[in-house]
């Protein structure tokens, strides 16, 4: 009689342990997924530049992830370099504005690149007074976004974009905002 009672208990225990193991494996798998797609690299530097330039850490991390996946050695087909994918001419201009010596080879240094990229992002946020416009300008260039804002086809009020005419910039904005929804929880 005791054998019959212990079999259901053993089966229940086996099912509970199996479920616990599955939950642990899923949790680990999700952690690996998020770690791969949303790395937390350079978090102390990002926090430092966030304070220095009065910009959200989550926004800096979101741009860095969208631009290069935090790959400091990344060089685009258009010639943008480093974590924040800065064009050398833009980086040189930013260095001068910051009163720093410009060295193109240093664009492959993560911290140097993050500093210039975070500063550029804060500059664009100040210029456009709108996060969406600033992010589009980071991708397409500030003069391009200024032209879009003047065009009734893309902006009904001249202050915000109703439509983004470049598919690349539209996709970029969507990637950054998706990243932001994750990083805003991590940098709170």
pLDDT, one tens digit per residue, over 59-88 is 999 999 999 999 999 999 999 999 999 999
Compute the distance between CA of residue 174 and CA of residue 85 in angstroms, rounded to an integer.
17
Say what percent of the chain tops pLDDT 90: 77
The model scores a pTM over 0.85: no
| Residue 29 pLDDT exceeds 80 | no
| Range from 5-9, 55-59, 146-150, 181-185 carrying the lowest mean pLDDT | 5-9
Are residue 85 and residue 158 in the same domain, yes or no?
A: yes
Q: Which domain holds residue 165?
A: 41-186
Are residue 116 and residue 143 in the same domain, yes or no?
A: yes
Are residue 104 and residue 162 in the same domain, yes or no?
A: yes
pLDDT, one tens digit per residue, over 112-169 is 999 999 999 999 999 999 999 999 999 999 999 999 999 999 999 999 999 999 999 9
| CATH number of the domain within which 50 lies | 1.10.530.10
| Residue 111 pLDDT exceeds 90 | yes
| Residue 27 pLDDT exceeds 60 | no
Are residue 33 and residue 50 in the same domain, yes or no?
A: no
SS3 track for 89-130: HHHHHHHHHHCCCCCHHHHHCHHHHHHHHHHHHHHHHHHHCC
Neighbours of 85 (CB within 10 A): 24
Say what percent of the chain tops pLDDT 70: 80
Of 150, 148, 145, the residue nearest 134 (C-alpha)? 145
Are residue 33 and residue 45 in the same domain, yes or no?
A: no
Compute the distance between CA of residue 65 and CA of residue 179 in angstroms, rounded to an integer.
7
For residue 187, the model assigns a pLDDT of: 87
Of 56, 67, 111, 163, which one is the catalytic site residue?
A: 67
Neighbours of 108 (CB within 10 A): 15
Are residue 56 and residue 118 in the same domain, yes or no?
A: yes
Compute the distance between CA of residue 11 and CA of residue 1 in angstroms, rounded to an integer.
16
The answer to whether 72 is a known catalytic residue is: no
| Residue 178 pLDDT exceeds 60 | yes
> By 3-state DSSP, what share of the chain in percent is helix, strand and coil, each rounded to 5?
70, 0, 30
For residue 60, the model assigns a pLDDT of: 98
Q: What is the mean pLDDT of residues 167-175?
A: 98
> How many domains are contained in the chain?
2
For residue 3, the model assigns a pLDDT of: 53
Are residue 21 and residue 95 in the same domain, yes or no?
A: no
| Residue 20 pLDDT exceeds 90 | no
Are residue 92 and residue 157 in the same domain, yes or no?
A: yes
Are residue 76 and residue 5 in the same domain, yes or no?
A: no
For residue 35, the model assigns a pLDDT of: 57
Are residue 21 and residue 91 in the same domain, yes or no?
A: no
For residue 188, the model assigns a pLDDT of: 75
Are residue 83 and residue 133 in the same domain, yes or no?
A: yes
């Amino acid at each position: 009689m005791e054998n019959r009672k212990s079999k259901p208990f053993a089966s229940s225990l086996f099912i509970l342990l199996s479920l616990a193991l599955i939950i642990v494996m899923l949790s680990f798998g999700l952690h690996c997924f998020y770690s791969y797609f949303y790395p937390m690299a350079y978090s102390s530097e990002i926090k430092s530049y966030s304070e220095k330039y009065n910009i959200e850490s989550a926004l800096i991390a979101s741009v860095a992830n969208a631009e290069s996946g935090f790959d400091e050695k990344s060089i685009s087909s258009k010639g943008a370099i480093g974590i924040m994918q800065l064009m050398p001419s833009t980086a040189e201009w930013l260095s001068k504005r910051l009163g720093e010596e410009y060295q193109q080879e240093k664009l492959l240094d993560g911290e140097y690149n993050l500093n210039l990229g975070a500063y550029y992002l804060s500059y664009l946020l100040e210029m456009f007074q709108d996060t969406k416009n600033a992010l589009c300008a980071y991708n397409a260039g500030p003069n391009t976004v200024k032209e879009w804002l003047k065009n009734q086809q893309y902006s009904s009020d001249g202050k915000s974009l109703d439509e983004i005419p470049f598919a690349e910039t539209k996709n970029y904005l969507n990637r950054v905002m998706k990243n932001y929804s994750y990083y805003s929880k991590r940098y709170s």
